[in-house]
Structure 1
Amino acid sequence: MVQLRKVLLTIIFLTGFILKIAAQDNAIINKISFTGIDTLGKETLLKQMNTKARPFTGKMTFWKKSARFSSFTFEEDILKLKKYYQQNGFLDASIPYDIVPNKNNKKVNITIHIKKGNPVLIGEIKYLMQKNTETKKILDSITTIIPIQPGMLFQDEKIIAAEKLIREKFSKKGYPLVKVEKNIFLNEKLRVANINFTINTGNKSYFGRINLKGITLIDSTYIRKHIEIKKGDNFSQVKIEKTQEELFDMNLFRYVTIRAMMDSVEQDAIPISIHIKELPRWSLKVGAGYGTEDKVRTSILLKRLNFLGGGRTLIIKGEQSYFTPLSIESKFIQPDIWTKNLDLILNPYFSREREDSYKVDRLGTSVTLQKELSKKSAAYISYTFGKDNVDLSKSKSSLSIEEADKLNHNKSGITFGYNKNTTNDIFSPTKGWKYEGTLTYMGIGFNSQFHYYKIMTEIDYFQKLGKNVVFAGKLKTGVINPTQGDSQTPIEDRFLMGGALSLRGWGRNQISPINESGSKLGGNSMLESSAELRFPLYGIFSGTAFADLGNSWFNPWEFKPNQLNYDAGLGLRVKTPVGPIRVDVASPLFEGKFETQFFITIGHAF
């Protein structure tokens, strides 16, 4: 009878407790807080839960539904938290909580009390395997980087990671059939877990025959130059992955798959099957768009892959916009001309450009040798010969006979360039940096009328701040300096600043030294810097707050900080498959009046 009474009282208590929790269902979750946390952080714990508190912005984000309390979901979350603590070495963790409603029961504050108990630590770690000189060396290299050590907190995640690391290291060193088994021995009294890893490496394996499938047009000899794996070499998963990347980066294939035929091993030799699908030989892209600077712009791109065989590429490109009424160029790319990843690029071109002070027709060609130094960096040397016809009829300045003779002039010069990109995304990077630098010398023979050198450098930096905010910064400098006694540089190669990709508080190319008639001369020195905070808004929409500074000066190597121009503004970004649509509004600072510039274009400013 007494026992029955205890059971009934327990049932009544639990029922009342559950009803009390359920009574808060559908209330707005105002706040979730924790007590007793010191090992695992609050953000980490919140990620384990489906129950979410109302964001700090609250009513400001009126388009989002407020987080509502669900007793079922919350009980599931408590179980998840307890399991999460057990996985992280706290086997006796208990997690009581308090749910406190406001006066009208429309909102609740939740306090979760973490009582984790004594932790379980890692004790002795043993690696059981038949060793030879090579396998011992591999194992020794593993033990120096393995994520678990005696005395550390016992965490399931790190134990699994250690097992995976052992398997991967042996596989990459020629033992792809390795098997790893872990055994855990818990001493509850000492709160210590001893771990044994039993490693069966299997026999050392080698690459067997290499079968190339799917080729229809491209010469297999050319493709095999980019295959890192050779028959008889030690088996290496790293080489397989590198080969797949190398083949895909040739830009000739729709896909590349490489499979190690583990079911066809013969005398420790593993056959390799490489299956490729070629891209179409001809492709045509036509584009049209609108920007506040270029107005209506159109483009056409015709590409011919494997042109004349040997993986060569022919590209013909045409563009038209307000500031570039006509641009036509072609590129003939000869890959691996003398060595792998050294490309020869022949690039004839014609363009017609117009600015406020001049118009220019450019006709010429360049020959470039470009070397890929790594997947993230490249260097090149380029020789250019061309003829520029400059029209200064829009300018109000008068010209001497000597100056007029130079309006139509030959150019012959050489450019050295280097670029590196460590960012994590092409369109919207959140970390990493980009660098691009060029050094050009003009005036090498062929009756080149101008003699000068030009240096350009740009560094872009991206860093995530907190969870969703990204800081982006840019620093850009340039100098043009006449040589061999020349007194000036060609106006069409000088620096003009302002616009959607420059100082956004001014219109396109509106920042420039001017003459006595007010015509823009262009600068021989320039300095420009920008800073942006990029943050999400809702769905595909994000925003930015930015500031720009910079100026251009007429004299080479002239940088005057007291003459810098400043602007600030706000922007909206709309994510698309080809990059963000960008809307920016900016105004100059310290100019004594408020004037705005408005830009619509594609892609980030940098």
Structure 2
Amino acid sequence: MTGSAPPPDTTAGVLTPADNKTPGLGKPGAAGTAEFAVQLDAFKTRVDVINIDGVARTKNDILDPLVRPLFEAHNFEDVVLRAHTVRRRLEELGAFKTINVFIDTSRGQNATSDGLEVTYSVVETRRVVGGVNTSIGNNNDGSVVLQLKCPNALGRGELFQTEYEYGTKHTTGFQTSFVKPLMPWFWPQPRLTTTVFQQAFDAQWSGYREIDRGLHLDLSFKSRPSIAHSLRWEAIWRDISALTASTAFAVREECGHSLKSSLKHILTWDQRDNAVIPTKGALFRLQQECAGILAGNVGFHKHEVELQLNRPLPLLADIVVQASLRAGIMKPLQKIDSVTCINDRFFVGGPLTLRGFNLYGVGPHSDGNALGATTYWNGGLHVYTPLPFRPGAGGFGDYFRAHLFANAANIGDFAFADDHYKNFNILLSGVRYSVGAGIVLSIGHMARFELNYCLPFGQQPGDRTSAGLQFGLGVSFV
């Protein structure tokens, strides 16, 4: 590959293949008389030159490997497909605001008879970008986020950003992160993220306030187009204090400082067309965490799985049936002086998990404070339909859906470590469930609002129900 001298402020480089001796191959076939159908793969061609116009900060050593696959194309169809693949990878680099692709016949002294010239016209992102955004959490809360970003900070797709968050439930926090793409031309597209953060929030359902300070290193990559992996190491110093004078003694026993160092793996296979209100596709997510092996006084291993399937009805494509399931188990680490804390356990209940019950209002309680448990399962069956008579069809009305649902869940602690039959009975005894109907409002791919009329059943002593109208706000629902 050789380079040519570009204009000083508009062109990063002109690339040519290392071997320019491939002869022209064939001519396009004859066309039909009634209808003309073009077979693009019948046009034997090659790429002679690749131009990247509009580059100022981005380095050539990151661009060259990204566009080089174009030189391996042998017909026009292959050129078009590879050109769009390269465009997508340039977008994922995060260095450019706009990218346009132009394909033309090759010109110049070294042009071949069947050669093409591919030009990418790009506009780089600004050096500093800031804004005020809103963030939706999974505790039925929202936050205002002040954000400052430096995209393409070092010219190779790096991202430096800092955020300050202030939200409901006295949530405050800030974080600073640095994201570095590692060999973005390589298929797994590995990406390394380093984050330093502090976050404080009120866990009103359990009567405590938590302040977390720590850092994490995250390596994310893909094993297939729809399968993503995240390998993370976290080190968090956690401070738990009683929220009010009425906080239960069982919660006060959990208060104090703890240091958690954990390794976490998250596998996600997502084929849904929309993460908020999907109309088709499936989701599988497996999350595994092991704390206390390397350092810290918190020790446990935790496993959590999520399944979701969405199918439109065969004759009524506007009606979507969804089935979902979540389950998790946590076991203390058999290590001297290791502990588990209330904020490590599982909680169930509320408009995002088990409708018709208060937020985390299911399971062990003490004086009205949720204590959490080490095992749970939570399932749901939903039917989504357009609104009756379709008001606002083709516009704002398309963001609304009518919603029928049935939820079931259970939560508890395994009392018999080696007796699987008794453990199975623990998970099936005392099942809580609810049914209801309502309206769902989708906010793009960000979040959704739910207003449902709920009827809870099977409540156990200590559970806190919320029969009637219930409002939900979040990203991930069961």
Question: What is the TM-score of this pair, normalised by structure 1?
Answer: 0.62
Distance 2:354 2:413 in 1: 18
CA shift for structure 1 position 259 = 2.4
Contact 1:348 1:364 in 2 (8 A): yes
Question: CA, structure 1 residues 198+296, in 2 after alignment: closer, same or farther (shift >3 Å)?
Answer: closer
Distance 1:471 1:279 in 2: 41
Contact 1:497 1:552 in 2 (8 A): yes
Query: What is the root-mean-square deviation of aligned Cα atoms in Å?
Result: 3.4
Distance 2:38 2:217 in 1: 59
Q: Deviations over 1:39-84 (max 9, x none)?
A: xxxxxxxxxxxxxxxxxxxxxxxxxxxxxxxxxxxxxxxxxxxxxx
Distance 1:527 1:198 in 2: 55
Look up the match of 2:349: 498
Counting only pairs closer than 5 Å after superposition, residues 119-130 of structure 1 correspond to structure 2 as none
Question: CA, structure 1 residues 338+383, in 2 after alignment: closer, same or farther (shift >3 Å)?
Answer: farther
Q: Determine if the alignment matches structure 1 residue 304 to structure 2 residue 147.
A: no
Q: Determine if the alignment matches structure 1 residue 548 to structure 2 residue 407.
A: yes
Distance 1:296 1:458 in 2: 24
Q: Deviations over 1:175-215 (max 9, x none)?
A: 8973552357xxxxxxxxxx999989876311111111121
**Residue from 475, 489, 492 that aligns with 2:340:** 489
Does the residue aligned with 1:223 lie in a helix, a strand or coil?
Answer: helix
Look up the match of 1:275: 121
Does the residue aligned with 2:261 lie in a helix, a strand or coil?
Answer: strand
Q: Which runs of 5+ in 1 are unaligned?
A: 1-173, 185-194
CA shift for structure 1 position 399 = 8.3
Distance 2:317 2:171 in 1: 44
Look up the match of 2:258: 409
Question: CA, structure 1 residues 443+337, in 2 after alignment: closer, same or farther (shift >3 Å)?
Answer: farther
Distance 2:40 2:63 in 1: 37
Query: Is the strand fraction higher in 1 or 2?
Result: 2
Counting only pairs closer than 5 Å after superposition, residues 83-162 of structure 1 correspond to structure 2 as none
Does the residue aligned with 1:267 lie in a helix, a strand or coil?
Answer: coil
CA shift for structure 1 position 242 = 1.4
Distance 2:371 2:40 in 1: 75
Distance 1:291 1:196 in 2: 54
Look up the match of 1:605: 477
Distance 1:292 1:480 in 2: 20
**Matching residue's letter, 1:564:** V
Query: Is the helix fraction higher in 1 or 2?
Result: 1
**Residue from 390, 397, 417 that aligns with 2:249:** 397
Question: CA, structure 1 residues 208+197, in 2 after alignment: closer, same or farther (shift >3 Å)?
Answer: closer
Look up the match of 2:51: 211
Counting only pairs closer than 5 Å after superposition, residues 124-523 of structure 1 correspond to structure 2 as 178-179=28-29, 181-182=31-32, 204-231=44-71, 233-235=73-75, 236=78, 237-262=80-105, 264=107, 266-288=112-134, 294=140, 297-323=143-169, 325-336=171-182, 340=186, 341-355=189-203, 356-357=205-206, 358-392=208-242, 394=244, 395-397=247-249, 407-446=256-295, 448-465=296-313, 466-485=316-335, 489-515=340-366, 517-523=367-373
Question: CA, structure 1 residues 274+290, in 2 after alignment: closer, same or farther (shift >3 Å)?
Answer: closer
Q: Determine if the alignment matches structure 1 residue 587 to structure 2 residue 427.
A: no
CA shift for structure 1 position 391 = 1.5
**Matching residue's letter, 1:573:** V
CA shift for structure 1 position 338 = 9.3
Distance 1:202 1:437 in 2: 45
Does the residue aligned with 1:227 lie in a helix, a strand or coil?
Answer: helix
Look up the match of 1:561: 428
Question: CA, structure 1 residues 397+221, in 2 after alignment: closer, same or farther (shift >3 Å)?
Answer: same
Distance 1:179 1:546 in 2: 58
Distance 1:359 1:430 in 2: 39
CA shift for structure 1 position 308 = 2.9
**Matching residue's letter, 1:570:** A
Q: Deviations over 1:420-462 (max 9, x none)?
A: 211123443211112221111100233x112110111111221
Distance 2:301 2:335 in 1: 13
Contact 1:292 1:599 in 2 (8 A): no
Contact 1:371 1:380 in 2 (8 A): yes
Higher Rg: 1
**Percent sequence identity over matched residues?**
17
Question: CA, structure 1 residues 198+531, in 2 after alignment: closer, same or farther (shift >3 Å)?
Answer: closer
Question: What is the TM-score of this pair, normalised by structure 2?
Answer: 0.78
Contact 1:397 1:519 in 2 (8 A): no
